[in-house]
Structure 1
Amino acid sequence: MSRDEDNTTDPPVDGQPESQESLPNGLDGSTAEYDIDDVYKQLQLIEETVTSDAEREEVRRARKMLKRVPGSDHINKYTTRDMGESFVGGVVFSLPLLVEDGVFEIAEWFAEHTIAQVPIFLVLNVLFIGVLVTGLLYAIDVREITITKPIFGFIPRRLVGVLAISLIVAVGSMFMWGRLHEEDPATIEQFGRVTVIWAAAALGAVLADILPGESKGEDISEMIDGDDK
């Protein structure tokens, strides 16, 4: 057999790749790793590029199925169930503090220490609550939360919801249990008491919202848009 005949190779079969180099990354035995979030992002890109309504609907269906796969850390929707979970978490975390007189002492500290007539520690406590909730939602990698349809174009709905619900829990529980007016405090001291309970309620509300993952149900914005039609 001649040397030229030894160097000949069979032509590739139609529909098969000539070598593993033509395979997508990660399918050729390489060390590339992918998770559910990568697939979800790829489906989002596909949905933006397809032109057929039927194909777009199929991609959306695949995305909905992917959300139910265990191990997905993606949270896109903000539903009434999320709000309910925040309410329950806020109540659970705030109840133990309602019977503690230390709340009154902290509130007195807030009211007494001022700089240029501004209760600086009270202001810092409110800022701390906002930073705590924002950090747990968007900075710390607990869940990958997508901000969709923000209020005024830049305020996340979930952030507003968690802060508002936990504040309602704090004010409502303090008032209902008679802890807001006990010992006839000044208005600034009353607000200080609320912020102490608010901090605990906010922590419980945000954890109860994000730890279970994405809730089933319709997004609040879709419910509102549906009512407007």
Structure 2
Amino acid sequence: MDTERADPSAPEPDIEDVFEELEELAELVDSPEEREQVIETMRTLRQSRSTRLVGRLRDTFDSRDVGEALVGSFIFGIPMIVEGGTLEVGAFIASRPFLLVATALVGLALTYGILHAANFERVADDQLFGVVPVRLVTIPLIAAVTGFGLMTIWGRVDWAEPLVATSQCLVTAVVMAVGASLGDVLPGT
């Protein structure tokens, strides 16, 4: 078994390398009991290998996470920006304060739910002031800035009617927050 990497430019070992090493070990051990123990270890490792769709968070929220959130936000948001239905929905909820607030709360709840599925609260270094999770603040902020910015830059909203424009941007930002959350937590590397 090779415990040191001879070539520093070689790729980092992965789980398949561990299985290969365990298979070699199973052939080298002397007794059937030892061989069974190695095989049981491989079985346990296979069962523990999680191919979860959600839940691959690093220790801190860094520029890479911001990039992933931005890409997810953009991918989900572009259809919202170019479609006229977003403008209609925004105009509709602008005249109904309860629905406007409910839309914002649903967006936050969806964002929280996606991040919660990835156990974001377990990342100890990912806290503002030791209390507020960075992801829970940053991801909606990325979505809001992206949504409001693109809707404005691309002339999709008329700020002469600020409540309607804000509502239209909010509808876009809610969908973008879902995309940003998924962009952050889906396996990428």
The normalised TM-score by structure 2 is 0.67
Find 1:122's aligned residue among 100, 105, 114.
100
2:123 pairs with one of 144, 147, 157: 147
One-letter identity of the residue aligned with 2:66: M
Q: Distance in 1 between matches of 2:136 and 2:82?
A: 28
CA distance in 1, matches of 2:152, 2:54: 40
Match of 1:105 among 88, 105, 117: 88
Q: Which runs of 5+ in 1 are unaligned?
A: 1-19, 21-25, 38-70, 114-118, 215-229
* Cα displacement (A) at 1:98: 1.2
- Displacement, 1:74? 4.8
AA paired with 1:97?
A: M
* Structure 1 residue 147 displacement after superposition: 2.6
- Identify the residue that residue 91 of structure 1 maps to in structure 2: 74
How many correspondences in the alignment? 147
SS at match of 2:132: coil
Larger Rg: 1
2-structure distance, mates of 1:99, 1:76: 33
The answer for the alignment partner of 2:157 in structure 1 is 180
Whole-angstrom distance in 2 between the partners of 1:177 and 1:76? 34
Cα shift at 1:91: 0.9
- The CA distance in 2 between the partners of 1:161 and 1:72, in whole Å, is 18
State the AA in 2 paired with 1:133: T
**8 Å contact 2:55–2:187 — kept in the other structure?**
no
The one-letter amino acid of 1:101's match is G
Identify if the C-alpha distance between structure 1 residues 212 and 190 changes in structure 2 by more than 3 Å, giving closer, same or farther.
same
SS of residue in 1 equivalent to 2:165: helix
Q: Tell me, yes or no, if the aligned pair for 2:111 and 2:177 is still in contact at 8 Å.
A: yes
Asked if 2 retains the 8 angstrom alpha-carbon contact of 1:73 and 1:213, the reply is: no
Alpha-carbon spacing, 1:152–1:102, altered in 2? closer, same or farther (3 Å): same
Q: CA deviation at 1:210?
A: 0.7
Aligned pair in 2 of structure 1 residues 158, 213: CA closer, same or farther (>3 Å)?
A: farther
CA contact (8 A) 1:76 1:148 kept: no
Q: How much has 1:75 moved relative to structure 2? A: 2.3
In 2, distance between residues paired with 1:212 and 1:168? 24
Query: Matched residues, percent identical?
Result: 28
Q: TM-score, normalised by structure 1?
A: 0.56
Q: CA RMSD in A?
A: 2.9
Structure 2 vs 1, CA of residues 105 and 210 (structure 1 numbering), >3 Å: closer, same or farther?
Answer: same
1:11 corresponds to: none
Amino acid in the other structure paired with 2:106: F
The separation in 1 between residues aligned to 2:92 and 2:74, in whole angstroms, is 25
**Secondary structure of the structure 2 residue equivalent to 1:98:** helix
Tell me which protein shows more helix as a share of its residues.
Answer: 2
> What letter matches 1:191 in structure 2?
T
Post-superposition Cα deviations, 1:18-51, rounded to whole Å, max 9, x if no partner, equal xx9xxxxx98x69x956369xxxxxxxxxxxxxx
User: In the alignment, is residue 76 of structure 1 matched against residue 58 of structure 2?
Assistant: yes
**Gaps in structure 2 of 5+ consecutive residues:** 1-32
